């Protein structure tokens, strides 16, 4: 079964607007990561937030993590047409030194010029 569930499944906005995507998960995690996938391409790592962190920023990206609610959100501010892509959350779990990465189903973001 999927560890991460993302919401919404699809999001359509205008350029300049903010985009918020949410991710919920079921078990305790080492960290949570967000990836981006352009159509037909491989995934690209965006940001990693550890289980003891609550918020992290990277450029126009802001990620929050609420371990009590087992949820995370990705905010993209001032979106651009080039941000059009699928966005996936991935949870790192497991007690080993290398863990295991489990992906959600993704949110398809469309930014209209």
Interface positions with other proteins (CB under 8 A) = 2, 4, 30-31, 33, 35, 40-45, 48, 88, 90, 92, 94, 96-106
Rounded Cα distance between 53 and 8, Å, is: 24
CB of 103 to other proteins, least distance (A): 4
CB of 14 to other proteins, least distance (A): 26
**Of 31 and 77, CB closest to other proteins:** 31
CB of 96 to other proteins, least distance (A): 8
**Of 84 and 102, CB closest to other proteins:** 102
CB of 34 to other proteins, least distance (A): 10
CA distances from 93 to 34, 70, 73 (A): 15, 13, 18
- What's the maximum distance between 2 C-alpha atoms anywhere in the chain? 45
Rounded Cα distance between 104 and 39, Å, is: 17
**Of 33 and 84, CB closest to other proteins:** 33
**Of 48 and 112, CB closest to other proteins:** 48
Phi, psi angle pair for 82, to nearest 5°: -70, -10
Pairing status of strand 43-50 against strand 55-58: unpaired
């Amino acid at each position: 079964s999927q560890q991460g569930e993302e919401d919404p499944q699809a999001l359509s906005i205008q350029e300049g607007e903010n985009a918020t995507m949410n991710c919920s998960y079921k078990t305790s995690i080492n960290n949570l990561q967000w990836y981006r996938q352009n159509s037909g391409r491989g995934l690209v790592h965006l940001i990693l937030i550890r289980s003891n962190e609550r918020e992290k920023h990277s450029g126009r990206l802001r990620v929050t993590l609420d371990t009590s609610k087992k949820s995370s959100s990705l905010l993209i501010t001032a979106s651009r047409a080039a941000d059009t892509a699928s966005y996936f959350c991935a949870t790192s779990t497991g007690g080993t030194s290398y863990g295991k990465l489990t992906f959600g189903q993704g949110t398809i973001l469309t930014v209209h010029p």
